[in-house]
Amino acid sequence: MRERLSAWLDGELAEEERRETAAHLEDCAECRRELALLERLDAALGGLEAPAPARLAAGVLDRLRPRRRYGWQSLAMAASLVLGIALGGTLARDFYPYQAASNGNGEVLALEEFHDFPQGSLGAVMVSYQTEETNGL
């Protein structure tokens, strides 16, 4: 019954429980004294103000402010990255045109462009091998 007295005082009891508690209070002097004590305690505590923690207002306001997740700085950084990749790809293609269109024989063909190789040298063997492959031998 003591648990119900606090709920009675706060107005939290259902109608049926309220009637049962009222009937009990008519017959029980001890519960009436307990209820009177709770009423005095509630009145005394109701006049007190609990101070809010020092950072409560600032903390609430900080959480209410919208946070920018993506600003113009992030957009500029992403654009710079895309531009750098595109420029790097273009420059690489311009600096290495033979590699980009290579058929696998670019190194041997390039050897022929310099000069005639001495008989028996590695360059002469490679050129002769390439010539045989090209002629279908």
The domain spans of the chain are 2-47, 97-137
Highest mean pLDDT among 39-48, 50-59, 89-98: 39-48
Band (59; pLDDT cuts 50, 70, 90): confident
Contact indicator for 130, 108 with CB cutoff of 8 Å: yes
| DSSP-derived 3-state class of residue 57 | helix
Alpha carbon distance 87, 101 (integer Å): 19
Both tokens of residue 45?
């505590």
Band (102; pLDDT cuts 50, 70, 90): low
Contact indicator for 27, 20 with CB cutoff of 8 Å: no
The amino acid occupying position 32 is R
Alpha carbon distance 55, 83 (integer Å): 46
Largest CA distance in the chain: 129
Residue found by looking up tokens 């595109």 in the block: 86
Write down the pTM of the prediction: 0.36
Identify the CA nearest to 22 among candidates 38, 40, 1. Answer: 1
